[in-house]
Amino acid sequence: MKKIAEILGLLLVAALLIAAVPAQEQAQWHFDADFAADGLGGTIERYLAEKGIASRSVTIGWEDIESGEEWYLGADVFMEGASTYKLPLAMLYADRVAEGSLTREDRLGAYTVDLAVREALVNSSNNAADALRSGVSDDQVTYRTAIAVNCGLDPAELPSGYYTANQFSPRFLIGTLRTLWNNSEKYGWLLEYMKQAQPTGCFSRYRGAYEVAHKTGNALGFICDTGIVYTARPFLLTVMSSGLGDADRVLGEIARIAMDYAEYLADQDAATPMPEPGSAPIPEPEAEPPAPEPALPPQGADGFYEIGDADALRGIALAPEGSYRLTADIDLSGTDWTPIPFYGTLDGAGHTIYNLTLRTVGTEIAECRDGNNLPYDARYAGLFSVAKNAAVRDLQLRGVLAEVESEDNCFVAALAGYAFDLTAENVSVEGRLHLYAHGKIVGVGGMVGFGSGWFTDCRSDVELVFEDRNTALHCEQFLGGLVASGKFSAERCFIDIRGYASVNGFVHTGGMVGMYCGYGLVRDRMMSVKDNTVVGTISFFENNFTRRAYCRGFAGEQVDLVINENNDISGFKRDERFDFSVLLSPESCAEPRYTEALIAPDCENWGHTEHVCQGCGYFWIDSYTPPRHTPGKAEILRTPDGGCEALICCAACGKPLVRMDLSFHAFRQLHMG
């Protein structure tokens, strides 16, 4: 027994010594590199040649986060990824936690979500990963479709083998790491777990004092690692190998070369000499590069320019008289929109422009008139600053936020600040529009600020807030759920208004329009307002020596005649206040406390974030995400030519989502495991 104990003791000491070797080597191994001459790519290729490593045995992807510089070896070669699949799988669960459809404490069999993710990333537990995968789908194609969501590649670019085997390419994994880095708030808990994984193996073997957040994989001779290395110039790195002897060391050495290159880049940044005192002024830091110039979107065979993203939408400014059609929902979050003029046709084709933010008026100036027919030059804010003889149809604006303060005469609205003979058919707007005004003639409208036109089957669901910030000037103020001031026809429109107006001047507020008048627009037409519904409340005060206090369900003040038939304004309420010291606002708490709830989208309903004040109950909605389907189990179908294809339909509504050709080999894999 004593002999056995001695042997066990020696084995333990040997094991400890072996385990300590990588830590001792961490600061010792470096490759003889000439980065100035070879760059990173040339240096790694020379390293592989000196090691006698064939290019078919290894694929590599690298990206410098600061500059966006990339280098690949076999960028689109798909190779067995071993346990690296656990990273995109864990990210899928972090997405669900962020959107509120799961919590980290929810259970997946014997695990909580948090424990399963931690065990899968830190200890590479297959049991934990199996629990995570079962929560996605037991079907291979469905599961592989789901974990591709964060790779940044078009699903059509992925080969059929991706869906039937555990294969990844360097470009796929670098794209996944890029999503991870760019959304660190969402994935922060994953990154912390990844920093705990393999502290002395693969990329961490020679890391020195650098942090490495990575996920390794090892299966049947395929050794892989993918992760983020936190040098002074952080970078993304993926290395996948097949049949390499001592692959752990090779991956560690490639990572060390990339670390040395990051140090080289940092040294280059620091090497810019500072001028001697008095010899020359220190140069000012370079300004941020200007935003890319807009470009006209592609033009279809029918002459319509096709708009599929925010950049294409901005391209309208280059040909405002053109005809345009949306081909997708467009997310405008993360940027303040610059209002643009428009004189053409916009066919929304049933699509939605969402998360539009307005903080400034456009550069265009157009004349508006007050109730005494006096002209004023004014500026305008909306998706369009001015819209003349324009037509908009089948379009939704969702989640509009306007917070505009202006010294000028100005009007703010969701669709167009100024409109002359605008035709709007089946157009809806939803959002919060706030104007903090200093000018003489000012207003805020749901769909249009100052203007004329025809509105058919339109909907306006808006919170309108007007605050007069120039107490020395008695302004002419206009506020309306559809139009702030103007003359128009409207048929079968629905307006839900929540208005708040604090005015040191003359108030013109109305459920549909603040002042119905064609001054400066059209006066010789007889227009009609038929079959419309107005609900909601306008709260206002008029702090003025001569009281007007216009506020009614259709028009606050009606100057021109109109055919008014079968309109329902019974759900509208006028709420006049007389305490001029309290600015009117939808939020009534002096110190509001908000809770936030993330509502996940489903097949038909938009996801969003709800903000609720715990004191007064006021709430608003923002950060919309479009409806999305949940992939169900793949169905394998025979094709007439004797082949087969996989069809994935939505598990909730049955809509076909993915159809792809599969080889006979893939067919056997799916059915035989």
> At 346, is the secondary structure helix, strand, or coil?
strand
Whole-angstrom distance, CA of residue 60 vs CA of residue 51: 16
Strand (E) positions, 517-562? 528-530, 533-542, 550-552, 555-558
Question: What is the pLDDT, as a whole number, of residue 24?
Answer: 45
CB 554 within 8 A of CB 509: no
DSSP 283-311: PPPPPPPPPPPP-PPPB-TTSPEEE-SHH
Neighbours of 289 (CB within 10 A): 6
Residue with more model confidence, 207 or 55: 207
Residue 16: pLDDT over 60: no
> At 115, is the secondary structure helix, strand, or coil?
helix
Q: What is the pLDDT of residues 30-58, one digit of tens each?
A: 999 999 999 999 999 999 999 998 877 89
Whole-angstrom distance, CA of residue 410 vs CA of residue 373: 16
Tokens of 390: 């324009």
Confidence of residue 642 (pLDDT cuts 50, 70, 90): confident
> At 649, is the secondary structure helix, strand, or coil?
strand
Question: What is the pLDDT, as a whole number, of residue 606?
Answer: 93
Dihedral angle sign, alpha carbons of residues 35, 37, 40, 45: negative
CB 614 within 8 A of CB 596: no
On the CB side of 187, CA atoms within 13 Å amount to 24
Per-position b or e across 581-594, b if 16+ CB within 10 A of its CB: eeebebbeeeeeee
Residue 670: pLDDT over 50: no
| 86-104 mean pLDDT | 94
Question: What is the pLDDT, as a whole number, of residue 54?
Answer: 83
Question: What is the pLDDT, as a whole number, of residue 289?
Answer: 52
- Percent of the chain, pLDDT > 70? 90
Amino acid at the residue 421: D
Residue 511: pLDDT over 70: yes
Range scoring the smallest mean pLDDT among 244-253, 325-334, 488-497, 663-672:
663-672
Q: What is the pLDDT of residues 409-445, one digit of tens each?
A: 999 999 999 999 999 999 999 999 999 999 999 999 9
Nearest Cα to Cα of residue 413 among 454, 351, 460:
460
On the CB side of 171, CA atoms within 13 Å amount to 12
Question: What is the pLDDT, as a whole number, of residue 667?
Answer: 39
Residue 264: pLDDT over 60: yes
| 182-205 mean pLDDT | 94
Distance (Å) of CA 181 to CA 176, 231, 306: 9, 14, 32
Distance (Å) of CA 202 to CA 21, 73, 241: 13, 18, 12
Question: What is the pLDDT, as a whole number, of residue 640?
Answer: 81
Confidence of residue 300 (pLDDT cuts 50, 70, 90): confident
> At 194, is the secondary structure helix, strand, or coil?
helix
Dihedral angle sign, alpha carbons of residues 635, 636, 640, 643: positive
Confidence of residue 283 (pLDDT cuts 50, 70, 90): low
Confidence of residue 665 (pLDDT cuts 50, 70, 90): very low
Fold of 31-134+166-269: Beta-lactamase (3.40.710)
User: What percentage of the chain's residues is helix, strand, coil (to nearest 5)?
Assistant: 25, 40, 35
Alpha carbon distance, N-terminus to C-terminus of the chain: 48
pTM above 0.95, yes or no: no
Q: What is the pLDDT of residues 521-542, one digit of tens each?
A: 999 999 999 999 999 999 999 9
